[in-house]
Each structure stands twice: as C-alpha cells, then as structure tokens.
Amino acid sequence: MSTFKPGVLALEDGSVFRGRAFGADATIAGECVFNTSMTGYQEILTDPSYFGQIVTMTAVQIGNYGLNAEDEESGGPKCAGFVVRELSPVVSNWRSSISLDDYLKKHGIPGLAEIDTRALTKKTPRRRRDEVLPQHAAHFRRRSHRARP
C-alpha cells in the first residue's frame, strides 16, 4: 500500500482544488499567479517578482530536469507555493543536483500536483499593463493521509 499526502488549494471564491502534496509540509496563504513557460521552472521559483505568491505552471509536466545552483535568478526561491499538473517522477539532466520535490522541501515551500491547472488558471485574474488588481487569495494546506488500495 503506497502512502501519499493530499493537498488542498482553496480560493477566496470558494473553489477548492485537491491534489497530491509534495515539497515542504506547510500551510500557506498567498496570491495565485500563473506562468505559461514550458521550461525554466527553477528561474521562476527564484525570480524575486514572484515573492510570496503561489505560482501555477501551465505546462503539463514539471520537474524532469531537476535543479542546480548555477541557474538561480537570486539567492534561493521567492515564491510561497508551487502548483503543477504533473510532477515528473524522473529527473534526467547531467547538471541536476537536486529534484524539484527535494528542493522545495529544503526551502520550506509546499507544492501541489495532480490538479487541473487549466481550470485554476482560468480563475486567476489577468492584469493589463499598469493595472493593479486586488489579491486573489488562496489557502494551501497539506495533511497526512494513507492511500486506499
């Protein structure tokens, strides 16, 4: 019997997204934003413009090439949470020194996988140039649970 930890992302509009938690075991609150890049998740995690935000990646699979110290945009991750459709079970890159799961654990950042990131992205407000929108708050929590056979 395998074990997993379910995670929950609850938006202020009452929407709830349930998935598989990875990374740090933490509960956070923050603004949900999204990024449409197919690569560069390490640069996104360490980009200061995402400080305190819960970043959703719209690409289908994230984590397949791991992370390394040379590709950080700043001194460590800046986002508060990280959401992906599918967390790659395999890390395959000669430059990789750590998996995405282990990197987030190391830095105390929770992750959530196996949710419909397209549906979450549709609920995320879009900004026009020079427009400031109110924060789209989300609550991200994680709890222990044993998988059913």
pLDDT per residue as tens digits for the range 57-93: 999 999 999 998 888 888 889 999 999 999 999 999 9
Instruction: Find the domain containing 14 and state its range.
Output: 3-146
pLDDT at 149 over 70: no
- Mean pLDDT rounded to a whole number for the chain: 84
105-127 CB burial, b ≥16 within 10 A, e <16: beeebbbbbbbebeebbeebeee
Q: How many separate domains does the chain show? A: 1
Confidence of residue 21 (pLDDT cuts 50, 70, 90): very high
User: What CATH number did the domain enclosing 78 receive?
Assistant: 3.50.30.20
Which residues sit opposite 98 in a β-bridge? 67
